[in-house]
Amino acid sequence: MQRFLLLIASLSVLATAQASEVFKTKDAQGNTIYTDRPESLPAEKVNVATRSTDKVEVQRQYDEKMQTTAAADKAKADAAKQAGEARQAKEMTAADKAKRCLDARARYEQVMTAQRLYEPGAKEGDRRYLSDQEIDEARASTKKAMDEFCAGQ
């Protein structure tokens, strides 16, 4: 019980403590020292203005700062993820490149040797046969795809 009363008394003394005067002095090495009890004279008295903190405003500013930081962190993480995905897409393994090249060559040979080409229709089993101009365009596009996938091989 006595400890509790002592704690209450010390807290009330701290709560009612008033701001003391602040002095500015220099030590032997010429460093500036701010203190409430100057050890040497002359000491210059410094006016220090204080005010109470608005806790609601501080909390609002803190929340804004946290939201801004979270948004910046999310944007940075998204950018890093996209950069990683782009790097991964560029760094296809040699086996992937070889497989794509073989598939493109097979498709090109199929298009070049076929006498008639068609597109699947809306219903299963329906076909729409390509015109001569569409066949030439299909052959050109498969040649271009093969050249892209097989470049350097």
Q: What is the pLDDT of residue 17?
A: 47
pTM over 0.95: no
Q: What is the pLDDT of residue 1?
A: 55
Please give the single-letter amino acid code of residue 13.
Answer: V
Domain boundaries, the chain: 18-50, 53-91, 94-149
Q: Which residues of the chain have pLDDT under 50?
A: 15-17
Crossing angle for the helix pair 94-113 and 132-149, nearest 10 degrees?
160
- The C-alpha atoms of residue 147 and residue 141 are separated, in whole angstroms, by 10
Other C-beta atoms lying within 10 Å of the C-beta of residue 34:
11
- The C-alpha atoms of residue 19 and residue 33 are separated, in whole angstroms, by 18
Name the phi and psi angles at 123, rounded to 5. -100, 155
Tell me if 46 sits within 8 A of 22, measured CB to CB.
yes
Q: What is the pLDDT of residue 54?
A: 87
At 37-51, the pLDDT tens digits run 777 777 888 887 778
- The C-alpha atoms of residue 127 and residue 116 are separated, in whole angstroms, by 11
